[in-house]
Structure 1
């Protein structure tokens, strides 16, 4: 039987503050198959972003196990965890997280350089071309629109050809039209590369673009299923270049 891309087993995440411990994630059990697209929904404070941070290895679980692509993240030290993340996981945030003093090309090349790729800039340029920004290679984030900045962030995430993409409200800072173009592009890249996708969103229509929806409430999974056939298949994504 093929190992799932993600396996969370009895996952607990607890923070400490002056009032005492706060249990953010409570005994999470979740398997995500390779190539699956999963939306994660739930009210603010339900633990969605915290769960994604644990999957990315940016937060350490308090207890339980986190398996990503057959690797137990709990068994990796910080250096090994950073290498693993750089080689296998792409992350897209709501706030772009681009380096303001670097051009679009340099921003996309950073993870490739960290991975030791000699062709970092060539691969970065090719990926920016895929997202329709080959005419913006030398522009800095401050010279780009919000949609263009998020497309640079997508290019950065996909340049290493990750096996897993984690996206946290990737259109949250974009207007509706621009956000839709970015989402079309994201799904096109996921389909093209066969990437497993975990997408956090408050948008029900966006959640239904994924093959499965997981609902969190108060740090627990309260619903985990596949969209019914009555809802229809998600539309075939098309490459967008106008955001």
Structure 2
């Protein structure tokens, strides 16, 4: 039975700028069910990445509520949010955010170790193999291409087998062929782990693979569309 995995009700985000408060997101209400894939689209500055950050508890709503897996993120302190993300969310950024002094294997295994998984390295190996990096596990980020680094980031996000996968422009720094490969891997990870996927993208072909697309403009939801083929 489907259940609400992410629930936003009247969520707002206002940040302080040099000229005073700036409304980034206004009155966002959105329900995302288990197993859905949601594309967040809109022009630059429309609030896509900020909305993703609210969903991940990386930004705190200044109004309304944000719930993930029936937990109120707006009521948690930073330590509780970090623990919740570690156990329930995988986040992929456009700029990879790998630790340069760690190998690919260590980058993927370290969050698992911090979460107390005794099989951290075994799981890390399995995820790196799944993204096609079996021969690159002992390489450092500087020894890898952008596409390979993003594969490591995907493996790191998927290794805890999270209920929620969040991706912010996952193909934004990649060329066409690498971007297409990352798209395939991202949706493959979603299917393999049964995760709910939310991604920010400017790429129409990536949004078209999502079951639902949320269009933002000026910090508000302008409309939603459903992709019939992706929903089948």
Q: What's the TM-score once normalised by structure 1's chain length?
A: 0.92
Q: After superposition, where does 1:1-243 map in structure 2 within 5 Å? A: 3-227=3-227, 229=228, 233-234=229-230
Segments of 5+ residues of structure 1 without an aligned counterpart are 237-243
Checking the alignment, whether the CA contact within 8 Å between 2:211 and 2:231 is kept in structure 1 is no
Q: What's the TM-score once normalised by structure 2's chain length?
A: 0.97
Give distance in 2, aligned partners of 1:200 and 1:174: 15
Checking the alignment, whether the CA contact within 8 Å between 2:105 and 2:137 is kept in structure 1 is yes
Give distance in 1, aligned partners of 2:126 and 2:204: 33
- What is the CA-CA distance between 1:234 and the residue it aligns to? 4.0
- What is the CA-CA distance between 1:225 and the residue it aligns to? 2.6
The SS at the match of 1:180 is helix
Give distance in 2, aligned partners of 1:23 and 1:100: 35
* Deviations 1:8-66, CA, capped at 9 Å, x for gaps: 01001000122111000001000001100010100000000001111111111101100
Checking the alignment, whether the CA contact within 8 Å between 1:3 and 1:70 is kept in structure 2 is no
Checking the alignment, whether the CA contact within 8 Å between 2:5 and 2:33 is kept in structure 1 is yes
Give distance in 2, aligned partners of 1:46 and 1:114: 35
* Deviations 1:164-194, CA, capped at 9 Å, x for gaps: 0011110111100111011111111111111
Aligned residue pairs, count: 232
Segments of 5+ residues of structure 2 without an aligned counterpart are none
